[in-house]
Chain A
Amino acid sequence: MIDPIALASLAVKSIFVENILLAYFLGMCSFLACSKKVETATGLGVAVVFVLAVTAPLNWALNEFLLKDTGLLGVDLQFLSFIVFIATIAATVQLVEMVLDRFSPALYNALGIFLPLIAVNCSILGTSLFMQEREYGFVETCVFGASSGVGWALAIISMAAIRYKLRYSNVPEGLRGLGITMLVTGLMSVAFMAFAGIKL
């Protein structure tokens, strides 16, 4: 029933082939705002992986046991899923912030400023909504959540490295900043599409 090869294939698919940023455009706002420095990008990337790995299974459980008509309440409440998911995400982010502050001040200082940003990062809500739409099981959801985060982190860290190099190039005036970043993202997206042929 749980096929390790199928799970590995799902992981590769969500990291490379269907990268949540480069194929679904999710999480673009923070991607554009925080990709100027590699350190910042790494911090945000790690925070996104962490929050995704926690919220995706949590929202799966809420969807399965509370919102579906086969759940505990026996009523179809799936139209409420947007508000339930976003509340879970906001609460988780707040909770993670407090736990980190208490138990790991070093990590908190590294991630601290990024955590509130993540509550409104589309890739977090998007992953939960994709999970619901594609009807993943629990293990699949865990794998999908974590590897979507890894894919996002990979994209933002490589973007930061490219932008670092871009500082030394002579970009036309109107294209500076956002414009050239979008073009580079386009080229990165082309590169990631090359993974589409990989099948496990």
Chain B
Amino acid sequence: MSSPATEMAPEKAPLFPFDKKTRRIVTDPLSDNNPVTVQVLGICSALAVTVRVDKALVMAAAVIAVVSLSNVVISLLRNKIPPSIRIIVQLSVIASLVIVVDQFLKAYMYGLSKELSVFIGLIITNCILMGRAEAFAMANPPWQSLLDGLGNGLGYGAVLVAIAIGRELLGSGSLLGFQLVPEAAYAAGYVNMGLMVLPPGAFILLGLLIWAQRSWTGYTEEA
């Protein structure tokens, strides 16, 4: 972050620029313009897969892969897609990539893919994907689109993992399956917070996370 961009005015635009402005594409969605907490996109799957950290990590990886690749593909096709049918073209690109990810998970992580059940398929209707395809990839070259996809995927993944850490720690007293709350605490009367494992826990934790993040960045919404 601290090193200034050395080549301020390059002779010709580099193929894969990585100057300050390009870096902003990646870092912006991590906090100031986070897809989940600020733009309110992709909430559905953000909540459903956060009971345990391992599920959240797999889901985050799947979304990062799909959003970066779909951004690249759509950006490559952007001048060939007729505007009137662009939605269906974007949907088919995304759906094909999700099928690939789903088959990959079934082959290498069968247990987890069974537990994630329909939510891998629901990446298709995750608004982040359509949103990035429509708002960024349709108007920018592939390299920038890849970075934008990575940034948004990471921003989404960060929120996902943060909620999952809270839910697993409070709800089951463990992280990634390792027991963290000592037996002595249970013996002394500590009880896992059952609410966190249930759906309401996810809603409430996300609400509090949004509150914390917005108080920090100073973003407020009307009414």
Contacts and interface: CB of A to CB of B under 8 A. Distances in A.
Given A82-B99, A90-B88, A174 B199 contact: no
A90 B124 CA distance: 12
B22 interface: no
Interface in A173-200: 173-183, 185-187, 189-190, 193
A61 to B, nearest CB: 19
A174 B214 CA distance: 5
Interface in B36-79: 37, 40-48
B118 interface: yes
A27 interface: yes
A182 B122 contact: no
Contacts of B43: 25, 28-29, 32
A126 B95 contact: no
Contacts of A185: 203, 207
A167 B200 CA distance: 23
A133 interface: yes
Contacts of A133: 117-118
Q: Interface extent on A, as a size class?
A: 35 or more
A177 B210 CA distance: 10
A25 B95 contact: no
Contacts of A86: 91, 95, 124-125
A65 interface: no
Contact of A130 (B99, B118, B125): B118
B213 to A, nearest CB: 8
B220 interface: yes
A82 B214 contact: no
Contacts, number: 143
A106 interface: no
B88, B125, B126, B211: residue with the most chain A Cβ atoms closer than 10 Å: B125
Contacts of A174: 210-212, 214-215, 219-220
Interface in A14-33: 22-29, 32-33
B44 A25 contact: yes
B207 A186 contact: yes
Given A29-B40, A122-B126, A23 B199 contact: yes
A186 B203 CA distance: 5
Contacts of A183: 203-204, 207-208
A27 B127 CA distance: 10
Contacts of A81: 121
4 smallest beta-carbon distances between A and B, as pairs: A177-B221, A186-B203, A182-B207, A174-B215
12 contacts: A25-B45, A28-B47, A80-B99, A81-B121, A86-B124, A122-B44, A129-B117, A167-B223, A178-B40, A179-B211, A181-B207, A186-B201
